[in-house]
């Protein structure tokens, strides 16, 4: 038993944990981006049953974010472009910062409905926001385009 595996609840899995450790961060970054991208596509293009550009702008007007066309576009682009940048690990901290800000507003907007997402609450926005905060603090990591181009070492 090595030092690295001797403290695991299941020591026999220690070698597996060590073998996949370097992939945990990029998996989370890619998953975060991949979750955001279709939401942006809903808002901007009406994909996946979304309301599209005009409907999204009207929604933002109705909920008090005027002009709705500006705020709806900003949110849709934050999800689509920010999500794509997170998947790539390019300009990771900038994309993550935009998502954190957006999710702070999302929590503010949804918190009146409680915690659980099934009731329209803030649970989803909190989780996405904290995942984005992780990448704001840590950057894109080893397996990112930021690292490949010599940034965020």
Tens digits of residue pLDDT in 104-126 = 999 998 899 999 988 989 999 99
Is 113 within the bounds of a domain?
Answer: yes
**99-105 own/partner pairs: CB under 8 Å, 24+ apart:** 99/32, 99/36, 99/128, 99/129, 99/132, 100/129, 100/132, 100/133, 100/136, 102/75, 102/78, 103/128, 103/129, 103/132, 104/129
Is 6 within the bounds of a domain?
Answer: no
Query: Per-residue pLDDT for the chain (153 aa), expressed as one digit of tens each?
Result: 455 446 899 999 999 999 999 999 999 999 999 999 999 999 999 999 999 999 999 999 999 999 999 999 999 999 999 999 999 999 999 999 999 999 999 999 889 999 998 898 999 999 999 999 999 999 999 999 999 999 886
The total number of structural domains in the chain stands at: 1
Is 43 within the bounds of a domain?
Answer: yes
Is 90 within the bounds of a domain?
Answer: yes
Domain boundaries, position 71: 22-143
């Amino acid at each position: 038993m090595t030092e690295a595996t001797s403290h695991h609840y299941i020591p026999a899995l220690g070698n597996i944990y060590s073998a996949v450790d370097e992939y945990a961060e990029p998996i989370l970054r890619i998953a975060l981006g991949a979750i955001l991208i279709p939401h942006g596509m809903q808002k901007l293009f009406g994909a996946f049953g979304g309301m599209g550009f005009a409907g999204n702008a009207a929604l933002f007007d109705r909920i008090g974010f005027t002009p709705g066309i500006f705020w709806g576009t900003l949110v849709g682009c934050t999800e689509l472009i920010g999500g794509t940048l997170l998947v790539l690990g390019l300009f990771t901290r900038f994309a993550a910062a935009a998502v954190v800000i957006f999710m702070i507003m999302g929590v503010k907007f949804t918190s009146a409905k409680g915690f659980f997402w099934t009731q329209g609450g803030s649970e989803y926005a909190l989780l996405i926001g904290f995942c984005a905060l992780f990448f704001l603090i840590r950057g894109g990591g080893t397996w990112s385009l930021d690292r490949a181009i010599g940034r965020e070492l």
